[in-house]
Amino acid sequence: MKTRRSVLGDAHVDRAETSKTAFDAPFQAMITDGAWGHVWSGDHWTKRERSMVTIALLAGLGHYEELALHIRSAANTGASRDDIREALMHVAIYAGVPHANHGIKVAKAVFAEMDKEAEV
- The pLDDT assigned to 90 comes to 97
Ramachandran category for residue 96: left, alpha or beta (phi over 0 → left; psi -120 to 50 → alpha): left
pLDDT at 11: 92
63 three-state secondary structure: coil
Q: CA gyration radius for the chain?
A: 15
The one-letter amino acid at 65: E
The whole-model pTM stands at 0.91
Given a cut of 70, the residues of the chain with pLDDT beneath it are: none
pLDDT at 2: 93
Distance from C-alpha of 52 to C-alpha of 49, rounded to nearest angstrom: 5
DSSP for 38-62, written as a single string: IITT-SSS-HHHHHHHHHHHHHHHT
The one-letter code for the residue type at 15 is R
Query: How far is Cα 99 from Cα 62, in angstroms, rounded to an integer?
Result: 6
Please give the pLDDT value at position 72: 96
pLDDT per position as a tens digit, 93-105? 999 999 999 999 9
CA-based nearest residue to 111, from 78, 63, 74:
74
Q: Give residue 120's pLDDT.
A: 84
Per-residue pLDDT of 36-48, as tens digits, reads 999 999 999 999 9
Domains, the chain, ranges and CATH? 1-44 (no CATH), 45-120 (1.20.1290.10)
What is each CA distance from 68 to 21, 44, 55, 105, in whole angstroms? 24, 25, 9, 10
